[in-house]
Amino acid sequence: MSDMGREHCSALVPYAKPTILREFSTDHRTVTIGERTFRLRQNWQQNGVAGVIWDSGIVLARYISEHPELVANRTVLELGAGLGLPSILSSYHNAKIIHATDRISAISLLEENIRRNANNDCDIEIFAFDWNVDKLPQKYQIILGADLIYGGITFESLIKLFRDASDSNTVIYLCSKIRYQRDQDFYDQLLREHFDVREIFYETEFAVNIFEIKKLTSYCNKIICNAFSFTEFLFEYRKKFILSMCWNRTQMPN
């Protein structure tokens, strides 16, 4: 066989669909968390990113299962719920009320998965919610979100939503991969918007982070503002002092 023939033969390799595409193309995914196994229906073709289970959703659901006190006897809001796995786990850990939300095109699949898998004794309400238009019915003690930052999502609308849906007692748990600089930029902007942001967990298997976010109280905001003001004062004082020293040196006799 000629060298050219060998080259052509070596290029003929069987195509294997990437694992992530295989998982998205299946109609169902089975996920086991703790002692419970959930069968979730998927629909990538119709619902896109909202129609499949992502690593971040699994990691956040596992975290809730391992720390049930986070949602026990609390009002819970899940944003961009998709298939609703974090809400489903919360229903088994004594959440007081759960509001699972997503865009209107995702609601039918979300309802089906919650109806099949959640604890029927838990008070769960599912409704469509547009971050840019709709108003939430109440403030919540716990807000959950998995992979909320992607594509054309704007930081401002989501941060405004956090501000409107929370008070000083609310804890927000966001689970995401830091894939790009814009992902890190979102958390940096939350800090600038007077939220306390802390990474509380890193899942090595999926390379997923969980962040705990709290709205700072007016007292804390005042302290921060005073700290910035004092820092600016020191900077201005130092600058004037240096300029004064330079001017005095120019006035000294040779």
Instruction: Tell me the C-alpha distance between 209 and 85, whole Å.
Output: 17
Report which listed range, 11-25, 138-152, 209-223, 229-243, is most confident.
Answer: 138-152
CATH of span 54-216: 3.40.50.150
Cα–Cα distance, 246 to 236 (Å, whole number): 15
Helix (H) or strand (E) holding 187: helix 181-192
* Cβ atoms 217, 168 nearer than 8 A: yes
Report CA-CA distances (Å) from 128 to 80, 136, 162, 193.
10, 11, 17, 27
**Using one digit for the tens of pLDDT, what is the confidence trace for 103-157?**
999 999 999 999 999 999 999 999 999 988 899 999 999 999 999 987 656 788 9
Closest alpha carbon to 97 in 131, 116, 73: 73
pLDDT tens, 31-83? 999 999 999 999 998 888 899 999 999 999 999 999 999 999 999 999 999 99
**One-character DSSP codes across 92-111:** TTT-SEEEEEE-GGGHHHHH
Partnered with residue 72 across adjacent β-strands are none
> Does 91 have pLDDT greater than 90?
yes
The C-alpha atoms of residue 106 and residue 182 are separated, in whole angstroms, by 25
Q: 175 in helix, strand or coil?
A: strand
